Amino acid sequence: MKSSGGMRTGIVLLLFALGGCAGLPQQPAISTADVSWVLNGADANSAAAKLEPEPLPSLLHVTDEMRRFALAATQGVFGISAKATALAAAIGTENGLRLRYDVDATLTAEQAFVQHRANCLSYTLLFIALAREVGIPAQFNEVDVPPIWDLGNDKTLLLYRHINTRIDAYVTYYQIVDVSGEEYSPAYEQRVISDLTAAAQFYNNRAVELRLQKHYADALKYQLRALELAPDTAYLWTNLASLYLASHRAHAARIAVTRALQLDGASVLNYNAAGHIYEQLGEQRLAAYFQKRAQYFLDQNPYYHYQLALAALDDHGDELLAYKETRRALLLYQKDPRFFFLASILLQRRGEAELARKAMDVAVALTPDPSQLARYRSKFARLTEHG
């Protein structure tokens, strides 16, 4: 899975809800027995799986060494907010834990501490586990970052979901601790989620990672564990459907995606997965319907075109296609500075210096935070190197 060139958020098939959905066509019904069958592995050979999902208590487990680290990092520091800042600094600095960002590191808190690496989810597990040891009331915070798309090997859509830490330091003030500040903005829709919901995301992430490595039996154990914790979460069913599809078990995949559609009948990911599943089943009418609906909603989303533009540059160096897709993104949405930064770079390469300057001016105007502005400049600076 690829990112937009910066840090990638936790690996997840993200449920992206869209309004105005027409009524779904009639599909084969599923029974309670069908649902139970897929939740029990659909007669999978469980003996083929080598891994056992980490026990739930282990995700936030704190060892004596971790506890000493947290206490030392916050020694002599008073106040919840100051303690949180000190702890975050100790985790990331060269003189502290020297934790590095690794997009593929979906780890428990203890594993992240020992291995000195983490993605957004495992960093959050680690920070929350340590924070609670020193009296910081840390909670999991799920953030609706602008979606970034990718395709798995089975051509089903993959999206990224982001998670960080929220600390309610005072009644009217809260603090966010985020490993990938480049991706986060307080303007994004976000919500506090329970420890169990965060754990479901952990098992889900592990399942997707294993699925992309084609370790389907192991991935299935993690995906089913995620659904044990959050059985009414639609994107987990979509992931289960995609996993069954990847392992050529289309009947089980159809049951899972039908359940996903029952929980959310307006998801582009569900449409995409259903289209590929019905295609494998030979149900061409249903396959065409869902594929058409998925593509329609993708074409209306500016972030999809933005991602196509970045992919055109990263994969093929196709600046003409990148410019076309960036223009499409801007026609659909004019409030994201990243679109204007990318447009500025591409216009500069096309020799349209005045238009490039104007696009950069708009990007700057849309980015009031100086540190965020610096990150955007750095993020796209590499695109000018070959100009």
- Which range of residues forms the domain containing residue 122? 56-295
Say whether both 129 and 151 belong to one domain.
yes
Average pLDDT, the chain: 83
In a domain, 17, yes or no: no
Q: Are 164 and 144 in contact (CB under 8 A)?
A: no
Q: Are both 179 and 310 inside the same structural domain?
A: no
How many domains would you assign to the chain? 2
What pLDDT, in 10s, does the model give residues 166-194?
999 777 788 899 887 666 777 778 899 99
**Residue 13 within a domain:** no
- Are residue 312 and residue 169 in the same domain, yes or no? no
Specify whether 273 is located in the same domain as 163. Answer: yes
**Same domain, yes or no: 306 and 285:** no
Domain closes at, from 295, 313, 333: 295
pLDDT above 50 for 28? yes
Same domain, 151 and 78: yes
**pLDDT attached to residue 12:** 36
Predicted confidence at residue 20, as pLDDT, reads 31
State the sign of the Cα–Cα–Cα–Cα dihedral 82, 85, 91, 93: negative
pLDDT digit string, tens, across residues 72-81: 999 999 999 9
Residues 92 and 192 grouped into a single domain: yes
> Looking at the predicted structure, is the pLDDT value of residue 86 above 70?
yes
More confident: 95 or 319: 319
Give the per-residue pLDDT at 15.
31
Mean local confidence (pLDDT), 151-163: 64
Same domain, 357 and 285: no
Domain end among 295, 317, 334: 295
Q: Which residue has the higher pLDDT, 96 or 239?
A: 239
Whether 9 is in a domain gets the answer no
3-state secondary structure of 159: strand
Question: In terms of domains, do 284 and 330 share one?
Answer: no
Instruction: Decide if 375 is inside a domain.
Output: yes
Are 88 and 127 contacting, i.e. CB atoms less than 8 angstroms apart?
yes
Residue 13 pLDDT greater than 80, yes or no: no
247 domain-assigned: yes
197-240, pLDDT tens digit by residue? 999 999 999 998 998 889 999 999 999 999 999 999 999 999 99
Tell me what percent of the residues of the chain surpass a pLDDT of 90. 51
48 has a pLDDT exceeding 70? no
Could you tell me if 315 and 173 lie in one domain?
no
Say which CATH number the domain at 355 has. 1.25.40.10
**Residue 333 located in a structural domain:** yes
Whether pLDDT at 143 is above 80: yes
According to DSSP, the residues that pair with 11 across neighbouring strands are 160
Q: Are residues 378 and 255 in the same domain?
A: no
Q: Do 245 and 375 belong to one domain?
A: no
Give the residue among 12, 28, 25 at the shortest CA–CA distance from 253.
28
Is residue 345 in a domain?
Answer: yes
Q: How confident is the model at residue 319 (pLDDT cuts 50, 70, 90)?
A: very high
pLDDT at position 142, please? 92
Residue that terminates a domain, selected from 295, 318, 343: 295
Q: How far apart are the first and last CA of the chain?
A: 27
Distance between CA atoms of residues 164 and 177, nearest Å? 6
Angle among Cα 25, 27, 28 to the nearest 5 degrees reads 165
* Percent of the chain clearing pLDDT 70 (strictly above): 82
Residue with tokens 């799986």: 49
Burial class (CB in 10 A: 0-12, 13-18, 19+), 295: middle
For residue 6, tell me if it sits in a domain.
Answer: no
Cβ(115)–Cβ(107) below 8 Å: yes
Question: Measured in whole angstroms, how far is the alpha carbon of residue 43 from the centre of its chain?
Answer: 30
Could you report the per-residue pLDDT of 254-265, keeping only the tens digit for each?
Answer: 999 999 999 988
Sign of the CA dihedral with 184 first, then 188, 192, and 198 last: negative
Read off the pLDDT of each residue in 280-300 and give the average, rounded to a whole number.
90
